[in-house]
């Protein structure tokens, strides 16, 4: 099979490199220091200064003198194959004076190539006027048949330099004109700047999700997701690219060379294609396939940029369709179960060339609507049984899916620490997608049928965990619990978080069969990418004798082999979850870094929580940091060393409940980004690390 773009490929832009500077990441490149004109930053009437304390005036101007820390909105392409070197772009705001890029994990190095921020309209007009003056000389260069490609290029650059121009400035003229002429384009200052990168991924780099941050003279940026892949990769042809001689109206052999390079877009699946959708755009690709091929089309979009604050719906809602050689639509997807990123499974009926189309569900688009499309006879894991196991044990796993070389994983070892892990399965084209698996430290058991009525309930010890399934539409499962009186009893479902389609609800009855509690969706702000909190959780005080019954059902009355769940029942174990935002902190030497620690309180716990540093690097301190009783967050100041650090330092926090037995309620604080979905709803999306950049910003 082969994959190609239908539309005519365009040439990739070439970017002028800038002088080298020293960098903690080795040889890097950055732009010269930017000068800040305070009077262009703010206007304060002179007369009003008489009524403002001088200390306040100095404070205002001191803060204006320091540029804001960088903010990145996208990286494109959003991934690369191990063993390759690619050119990529960060899009964002306040990206001036880039110093380096931090990437989580090992095996990835990044060099800064250039920084681009479009000048104001007056500056562009000045560039145009200067270019117009030297146009006659440029035409003479183009008409001189005796010049080689190299010599012609050198003369062009010399003429530009004499006019105080450069290739970058001419490219900015073209970019400014194109962007303002495109009526569909949404100009957004939050992604209006670019930093161009060269990313090298070593052969032994571990595949999977990474996080990358940009470090500038003004601070450390927020993290973005970047994927290390194992399959061959390519990029869709750029919708806009720049070639200096062509723009100047000069035809040379140089253009033919550039065109030849840009047209190398043929990929043999299994492969990954990186692309992005601009306003109203539909990307089209073709690939050749043989009859009987079990083709999987898997697209990552929302998984790369989880939330877009100013978009409705609050992410790039990708749509993918497959068409036969005659153009007839064969299959369509705009999601995969409850995941917004679509996946298509299709058995090819006959040999031929098939077409793939990708677009946004309502034909929106922007530079940050990036995606990764993987095509081929890929191993794809649709389910796993059971959904979890006991920490430190070994389990036998049954696998469901397509193009798998194994249907069982026997004696699979589980980690000693409870939590949710990822499991993949082998296939001929490599490893499958990852599915979630729940590891806990309480005793486990399995559901026993028939238990679809109160009188046939399965008995569950407390604490205990049951692996069950709603195996047919309308099925319900009952469990008998004998708990001690006086202490709260909690029943919790793990299903949707683990990839199960079950939309669970829980009902609790007393010993006489009277309903005493019910829950459908338990809203958990710490769930990250989950927007439909379909896993139920309920806490009750058992009746005097302690006997009660728990019923599990699907709210939509669906069922089947895939509708698996884990029911966990505990008593007298209040808990909480902690998140720290933002995950990139900036501080001056000897000052403090400000972080907000959020608490998600569970099972009625309302007490204070003491936050402490965990194995902190030398020079970092934290004193008297407490989230007060009943509060859901607290701003915390972390003292930093009085010297500038060469690289941002990674720190860790943990929280302890102030109770009689503190060790029973100690939890790590998970670094996260507070992301806004569609202007209003906030989500704490976990990231790789909490980093503190100690650096004196430029004056």
Residue 245 CA to residue 254 CA, distance in Å, equals: 8
The region, left, alpha or beta by phi > 0 then psi within -120 to 50, assigned to residue 170 is: alpha
Residues in a beta bridge with 195? 90, 115
Helix, strand, or coil (residue 668): strand
pLDDT, residue 26, reads: 33
Q: Which strands form 233-235's sheet, in the order they lie side by side?
A: 233-235, 271-276, 370-376, 294-300, 343-347
In a domain, 251, yes or no: no
Strands 633-639 and 625-627: unpaired
- Length of the chain in residues, anyone? 699
Mean pLDDT by 10 residues, the chain (699 residues): 37 33 33 31 32 38 60 97 96 95 96 94 93 91 85 90 93 88 77 96 96 96 96 85 84 44 58 92 91 96 91 91 92 93 95 93 94 95 94 95 92 94 91 94 93 93 95 96 84 93 95 93 76 89 88 96 95 86 96 95 86 93 91 95 92 85 73 85 90 90
Instruction: Residue 77: name the closest of 372, 433, 376 by CA.
Output: 372
* 3-class SS letters over 369-424: CEEEEEEECCCEEEEEECCEEECCCEEEEEEEEECCCCCEEEEEECCCCCEEEEEC
Say if residue 580 is in the same domain as residue 564.
no
**pTM of the full structure:** 0.83
pLDDT, residue 256, reads: 41
Place of tokens 């033919």: 256
Number of other residues whose CB lies within 10 A of the CB of residue 476? 17
Instruction: Residue 320: name the closest of 278, 355, 291, 356 by CA.
Output: 356
List pLDDT tens digits, range 37-56.
322 333 233 333 333 343 33
Q: How many domains does the chain have?
A: 6
Domain of 203, CATH number, reads 2.60.40.10
Place of tokens 């040439």: 11
Say if residue 512 is in the same domain as residue 657.
no
pLDDT, residue 260, reads: 37
Residue 593 CA to residue 645 CA, distance in Å, equals: 14
CA 97 to chain centre: 25
Residue 348 CA to residue 290 CA, distance in Å, equals: 7
Residue 615 CA to residue 359 CA, distance in Å, equals: 47
Alpha helices in 515-614 (DSSP H): none
CA angle 496, 502, 507 (to 5 degrees): 100
pLDDT, residue 267, reads: 60
In a domain, 10, yes or no: no
Place of tokens 């070639």: 243
Say if residue 520 is in the same domain as residue 455.
yes
Say if residue 329 is in the same domain as residue 304.
yes
List pLDDT tens digits, range 370-391.
999 999 999 999 999 999 999 9
- The one-character DSSP state at 661 is S
In a domain, 535, yes or no: yes
Domain of 457, CATH number, reads 2.60.120.380
Strands 625-627 and 79-81: unpaired
Say if residue 592 is in the same domain as residue 517.
no
Say if residue 455 is in the same domain as residue 566.
yes
Residue 445 CA to residue 465 CA, distance in Å, equals: 6
In a domain, 7, yes or no: no
Do 694 and 589 touch, CB atoms closer than 8 A? Answer: yes
Say if residue 367 is in the same domain as residue 408.
no
Strands 388-390 and 435-440: parallel
Helix, strand, or coil (residue 581): strand
Say if residue 500 is in the same domain as residue 516.
yes
Helix, strand, or coil (residue 48): helix
In a domain, 258, yes or no: no
Place of tokens 């306003």: 279
Say if residue 344 is in the same domain as residue 426.
no
Residue 501, token pair as written in the block: 């389609």
pLDDT, residue 211, reads: 98
Residue 139 CB contacts under 8 Å (≥ 6 apart), including other chains: 249
Do 110 and 162 touch, CB atoms closer than 8 A? Answer: no
Say if residue 279 is in the same domain as residue 194.
no
Say if residue 449 is in the same domain as residue 503.
yes
Place of tokens 């194995």: 615
Q: Which helix (H) or strand (E) holds 566?
A: strand 564-571
Residue 302 CA to residue 370 CA, distance in Å, equals: 9
In a domain, 261, yes or no: no
In a domain, 253, yes or no: no
Residue 431 CA to residue 425 CA, distance in Å, equals: 6
- Which domain, by its residues, includes 188? 20-30+69-230+233-244
Say if residue 39 is in the same domain as residue 119.
no
Residue 63, token pair as written in the block: 């803060």
Residues in a beta bridge with 29? 20
In a domain, 255, yes or no: no
């Amino acid at each position: 099979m082969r994959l190609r773009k239908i539309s005519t490929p365009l040439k990739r832009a070439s970017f002028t490199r800038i002088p080298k500077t020293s960098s903690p990441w080795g040889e890097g490149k950055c732009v010269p220091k930017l000068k800040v004109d305070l009077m262009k930053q703010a206007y304060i009437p002179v007369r009003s200064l008489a009524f403002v304390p001088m200390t306040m005036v100095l404070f205002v101007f001191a803060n204006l003198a320091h540029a804001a820390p960088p903010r990145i909105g996208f990286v494109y392409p959003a991934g690369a194959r191990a063993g390759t070197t690619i050119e990529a772009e960060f899009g964002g705001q306040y990206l001036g004076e880039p110093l380096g890029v931090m990437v989580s994990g090992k095996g990835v190095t990044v060099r800064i190539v250039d920084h681009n921020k479009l000048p104001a309209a007056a500056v562009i007009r000045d560039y145009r006027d200067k270019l117009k003056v030297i146009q006659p000389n440029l035409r003479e260069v183009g008409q001189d048949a005796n010049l080689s490609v190299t010599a012609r290029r050198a003369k062009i650059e010399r003429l530009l330099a004499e006019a105080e121009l450069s290739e970058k400035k001419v490219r900015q003229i073209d970019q400014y004109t194109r962007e303002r002429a495109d009526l569909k384009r949404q100009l957004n200052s939050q992604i209006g700047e670019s930093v161009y990168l060269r990313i090298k991924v070593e052969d032994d780099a571990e595949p999977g999700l990474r996080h990358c941050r940009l470090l500038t003279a003004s601070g450390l940026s927020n993290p973005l997701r970047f994927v290390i892949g194992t399959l061959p990769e390519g990029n869709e042809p750029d919708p806009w690219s720049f070639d200096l001689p062509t723009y100047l109206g000069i035809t040379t052999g140089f253009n033919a060379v550039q065109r030849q390079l840009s047209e190398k877009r043929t990929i043999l699946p299994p492969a990954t294609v990186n692309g992005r959708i601009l306003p109203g755009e539909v990307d089209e690709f073709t690939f050749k396939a043989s009859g009987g091929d079990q083709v999987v089309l898997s697209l990552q979009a929302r998984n790369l940029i989880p939330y877009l604050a100013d978009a409705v719906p609050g992410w790039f809602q990708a749509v993918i369709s497959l068409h036969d050689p005659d153009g007839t639509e064969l299959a369509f997807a705009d999601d995969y179960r409850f995941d917004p990123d679509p996946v298509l499974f299709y058995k090819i009926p006959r040999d031929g060339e098939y077409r793939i189309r990708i677009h946004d569900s309502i034909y929106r688009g922007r530079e940050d609507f990036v995606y990764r499309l993987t095509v081929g006879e890929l191993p794809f894991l649709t389910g796993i049984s059971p959904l979890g196991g006991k920490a430190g044990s070994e389990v036998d796993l049954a696998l469901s899916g397509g193009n798998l070389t194994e249907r069982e994983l026997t004696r699979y070892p589980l980690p000693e620490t409870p939590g949710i892990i990822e499991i993949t399965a082998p296939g001929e084209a490599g490893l499958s997608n990852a599915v979630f698996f729940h590891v806990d430290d309480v005793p486990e058991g399995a559901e026993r049928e028939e238990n679809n009525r109160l009188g046939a309930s399965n008995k569950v010890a407390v604490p205990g965990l049951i692996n069950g399934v709603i195996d047919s539409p309308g099925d319900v499962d009952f469990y008998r619990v004998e708990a001690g009186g006086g202490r709260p009893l909690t029943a919790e479902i793990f299903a949707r978080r683990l990839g199960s389609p079950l939309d669970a609800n829980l009902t609790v009855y007393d010993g006489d069969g009277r309903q005493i509690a019910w829950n459908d969706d338990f809203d958990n702000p710490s769930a990250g990418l989950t927007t439909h909190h379909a896993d139920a959780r309920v806490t009750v005080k058992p009746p005097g004798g302690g006997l009660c019954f728990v019923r599990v059902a699907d709210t939509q009355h669906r069922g089947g082999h895939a509708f698996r769940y884990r029911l966990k029942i505990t008593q007298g174990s209040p808990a909480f979850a902690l998140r720290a935002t933002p995950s990139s902190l900036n501080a001056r030497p000897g000052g403090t870094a400000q972080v907000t620690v959020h608490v998600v309180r569970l099972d009625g716990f309302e007490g204070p929580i003491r936050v402490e540093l965990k194995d902190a690097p030398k020079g970092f301190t934290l004193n008297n940091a407490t989230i007060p009783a009943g509060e859901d967050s607290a701003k915390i100041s972390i003292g930093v060393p009085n010297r500038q650090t060469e690289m941002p330092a990674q720190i860790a926090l943990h929280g302890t409940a102030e109770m009689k037995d503190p060790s029973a309620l100690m939890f790590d604080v998970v670094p996260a980004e507070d992301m806004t979905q569609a202007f209003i709803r906030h989500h704490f999306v976990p990231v790789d690390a909490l980093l503190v950049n100690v650096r004196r910003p430029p004056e």
